[in-house]
Amino acid sequence: MDFSIKTLDAKTSVTAIKTGVLVVGIFENRKLTSAAQALDKMGAISSALKSGDISGKPGATLLLRGLTGVAAERVLLVGLGNEESPADKSFSSAAQAAARALTTVGAADAVVALPLDKINQRDLNWAICTLVLAARDLEYRADTLKSKKDPAPTGVRKLALAVAAGDAAQARQGLAEAVALSNGMELTKDLGNLPGNVCTPTYLANTARKLAKDYKLGIEVLDRKQLEALKMGSFLSVTNGSDEPPKFIVLKHMGGKAKDAPTVLVGKGITFDTGGISLKPGLGMDEMKYDMCGAASVLGTFRAIAELQLKLNVIGVIPTCENMPSGRATKPGDIVTSMSGQTIEVLNTDAEGRLILCDALTYVERFKPAAVVDIATLTGACIVALGHHNSGLFTRSDDAHDKLAADLLAAGKASGDTAWRMPIEDAYQEQLKSNFADIANIGGQPAGSVTAACFLERFTKKYTWAHLDIAGTAWKSGAAKGATGRPVPLLTTYLLNLARKPARA
> How far is Cα of residue 48 from the mean position of the Cα atoms in its chain?
39
> Is 6 part of the annotated catalytic residue set?
no
Kindly state the helix (H) or strand (E) to which residue 132 belongs, with its residue range: helix 124-139
* Alpha helix (H) residue ranges in 167-292: 168-193, 201-215, 224-229, 233-239
Q: Which residue out of 6, 172, 280, 311 is catalytically annotated?
A: 280
Domain with CATH 3.40.220.10 in the chain: 2-163
Rounded Cα distance between 431 and 333, Å, is 16
CATH of 183-504, one of 2.60.120.960, 3.40.250.10, 3.40.630.10, 3.40.50.970: 3.40.630.10
pLDDT in tens, the chain (505 residues): 999 999 998 777 899 999 999 999 999 888 999 999 999 989 999 999 999 999 899 999 999 999 999 999 999 999 999 877 889 999 999 999 999 999 999 999 999 999 999 999 999 999 999 999 999 999 999 999 999 988 877 899 999 999 999 999 999 999 999 999 999 999 999 999 999 999 999 999 999 999 999 999 999 999 999 999 999 999 999 999 999 999 999 999 999 999 999 999 999 999 999 999 999 999 999 999 999 999 999 999 999 999 999 999 999 999 999 999 999 999 999 999 999 999 999 999 999 999 999 999 999 999 999 999 999 999 999 999 999 999 999 999 999 999 999 999 999 999 999 999 999 999 999 999 999 999 999 999 999 999 999 999 999 999 999 999 999 999 999 999 999 999 999 999 999 999 998 754 4
Backbone angle region of 249, left / alpha / beta, with phi > 0 → left and psi within -120 to 50 → alpha: beta
pTM: 0.96
Q: Are 424 and 365 in contact (CB under 8 A)?
A: no
Cα torsion angle, 478, 484, 490, 493, sign: negative
Whose CA is closest to 360, among 192, 248, 482?
248
Query: Which one of 268, 354, 458, 486 is the catalytic residue?
Result: 354
Residue ranges of the chain that CATH labels 3.40.630.10 = 183-504
DSSP 393-431: EE---SHHHHHHHHHHHHHHHHHT--EEEE---HHHHGG
- Please give the CATH topology (third level) of the domain spanning 2-163: Leucine Aminopeptidase, subunit E; domain 1 (3.40.220)
In 3-state terms, what secondary structure has residue 64? strand
Q: Is 280 a catalytic residue?
A: yes
CA angle centred on 284, ends 283 and 290, rounded to 5°: 155
Task: Give Cα separations from 143 to 148, 152, 189 (angstroms).
Answer: 8, 10, 12
3-state secondary structure of 242: coil
Burial class (CB in 10 A: 0-12, 13-18, 19+), 66: exposed
Cα separation, 60 vs 94, in Å, equals 7
